[in-house]
């Protein structure tokens, strides 16, 4: 009897006190609602504190009440965990954090309402061997055509010579959300359908199509701007059923390009920082899924999954350099692209250690304190920014700045803007050969001299110099 009395007292105490709910939400959230036992599981709008924080006092709430957050007034806006999975009901905490939303509600955009029946068409070609359609109300989240996996699509209708499965929903009150599936495989959630819509499947990707439209394949170039310190960039898409990652060509630190044949502008695709879905592109919050793209002339990746956080650590940079290298410097994100002298290990090896760096910081090597001395490829081409590797190798230098047989500080020779530039503190005789071994210039210089030469690789007193 005493135990029962204590329990009743505790229940009265819980029900008598109001609770304040505070939540931190992802960047880009435009509104926040709370729904739970305390308000009959209807979405109740919260008060905005700032762009990522909301609060509300609920007098009827108790710490025993379960609840969830939504970014809008419906369950299609419900919160998800960081991986996009369903979450269980919360129990009271004075400060909550939402990792991501199923979708982001925009109060400024009018939600389209159905004006009659909604028919869902799916091309038979490319569909699952046994295709189900699962549908639910976008406002209430109530299933429309039964529990998962929904109902089998069996009715077939021919439209402009193409066979479609078709399912019709009679005058739904709200837009509908759907998933095509075979009980095991499934598409992503397709949200907010308010009118008859035609789809085709490519693997697990559903694409809206226009009946009767014939899209010719063509050759398309995909250009993308990626976040700073991206290690690489790959593209994957519907052209091969999302089965491979194609490496893109690096243009500079933040731009990549690739040209693909036999594709269409409606084919969907995504970018990845590596050849793995672990590093697929995501929204600017670093968590929320990015929607599949269709061709655009210039794309922009906001962030990469799994690369938003990098480990800050102490790293040692080791490099093998060509014989005859007078010195070695490193310039990169770790030193604001200044030139830091490295420690000489032997004639062809240098090393340096930096604290408070990460492995995605870009950098290059140089054999002098300036970009006239930067590393180049074996044939004199540009070397793009590196990211950390345990052991690097420099193939060649644009110029070493030194000339064989002359004191290192007495003369500097380098190429620039179609000229061979000589800066000599004392008189020096120079023989200039082209890459084929033909003598093209023989001269004596004291002071400064700029000699016009065609772009290419030259040998000056035995030292390679690149004129560009």
| Segments making up each domain of the chain, as ranges | 15-101, 118-208, 218-304, 313-397, 411-467
Q: Is the pLDDT of residue 112 over 90?
A: no
Residues facing 58 on adjacent strands: 19
The DSSP secondary-structure symbol of 280 reads B
- Count of Cβ atoms closer than 10 Å to residue 372 Cβ: 18
Residue in 141, 454, 280 with CA at minimum distance from that of residue 466: 454
Residue with structure tokens 């189900």? 132
pLDDT of residue 351: 97
pLDDT of residue 417: 66
Looking at domain 313-397, its CATH architecture is Sandwich (2.60)
Share of the chain above pLDDT 90, in %: 38
Domains 118-208 and 218-304 share a fold: yes
Residue in 244, 309, 238 with CA at minimum distance from that of residue 276: 244
Highest mean pLDDT among 248-262, 278-292, 441-455: 248-262
235-252 pLDDT tens trace? 999 898 888 999 898 888
**The domain over range 118-208 is classified in CATH as 1.10.3470:** no
**The domain over range 15-101 is classified in CATH as 2.60.40.10:** yes
Domain 218-304, CATH: 2.60.40
Mean pLDDT of the region 111-131: 90
Q: Which residue has the higher pLDDT, 398 or 375?
A: 375
Question: Model confidence at 409, in pLDDT bands (50, 70, 90)?
Answer: low
Task: Give the tokens for residue 77.
Answer: 């806006």
Residue in 460, 450, 464 with CA at minimum distance from that of residue 420: 450
Burial (Cβ within 10 Å: 0-12, 13-18, ≥19) of residue 282: buried
């Amino acid at each position: 009897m005493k135990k029962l009395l204590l329990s009743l007292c505790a229940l009265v105490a819980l029900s008598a006190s109001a609770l304040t709910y505070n939540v931190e939400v992802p960047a880009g959230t435009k509104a926040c609602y709370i729904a739970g036992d305390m308000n009959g599981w209807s979405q109740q709008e919260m008060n905005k504190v700032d762009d990522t924080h909301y609060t509300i006092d609920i007098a009827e709430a108790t710490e025993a009440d379960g609840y969830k957050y939504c970014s809008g007034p419906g369950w299609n806006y419900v919160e998800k965990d960081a991986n996009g999975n369903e979450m269980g009901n919360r129990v009271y905490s004075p400060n909550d954090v939402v990792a991501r939303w199923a979708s982001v509600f925009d109060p400024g955009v009018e939600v389209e309402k159905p004006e009659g029946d909604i028919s869902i068409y799916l091309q038979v070609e490319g569909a699952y061997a046994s295709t189900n359609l699962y549908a639910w109300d976008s406002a209430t989240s109530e299933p429309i055509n039964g529990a998962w996996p929904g109902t089998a699509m069996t009715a077939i209708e021919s439209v402009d010579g193409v066979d479609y499965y078709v399912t019709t929903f009679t005058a739904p009150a709200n837009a509908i959300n759907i998933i095509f599936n075979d009980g095991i495989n499934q598409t992503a959630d397709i949200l907010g359908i308010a009118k008859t819509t035609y789809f085709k499947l490519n693997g697990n990707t559903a694409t809206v199509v226009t009946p009767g439209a014939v899209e010719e394949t063509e050759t398309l170039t995909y250009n993308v701007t990626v976040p700073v310190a991206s290690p690489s960039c790959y593209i994957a898409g519907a052209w091969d059923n999302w089965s491979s990652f194609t490496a893109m060509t690096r243009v500079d630190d933040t731009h990549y390009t690739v040209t693909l044949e036999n594709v269409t502008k409606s084919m969907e695709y995504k970018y990845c920082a590596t050849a793995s879905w672990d590093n697929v592109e995501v929204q600017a919050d670093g968590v929320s899924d990015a929607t599949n793209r269709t061709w655009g002339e210039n794309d922009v990746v906001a962030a990469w999954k799994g690369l938003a956080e990098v480990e800050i650590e102490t790293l040692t940079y080791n490099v093998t350099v060509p014989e005859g290298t007078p010195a070695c410097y490193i310039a990169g994100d770790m030193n604001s692209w200044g030139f830091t002298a490295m420690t000489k290990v032997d004639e062809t090896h240098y090393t340096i250690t930096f604290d408070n760096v990460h492995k995605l910081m870009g950098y290059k090597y140089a054999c002098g304190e300036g970009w006239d001395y930067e590393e180049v490829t074996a044939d004199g081409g540009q070397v793009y920014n590196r990211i950390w590797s345990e052991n690097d190798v420099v193939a060649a230098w644009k110029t070493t700045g030194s000339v064989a047989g002359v004191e290192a500080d007495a003369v500097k020779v380098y190429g620039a803007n179609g000229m061979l530039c000589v800066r000599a503190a004392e008189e020096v005789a120079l023989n200039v050969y082209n890459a084929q071994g033909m003598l093209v210039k023989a001269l004596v210089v004291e002071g400064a001299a700029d000699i016009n030469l065609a772009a290419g690789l030259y040998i000056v007193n035995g030292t390679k110099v690149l004129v560009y």
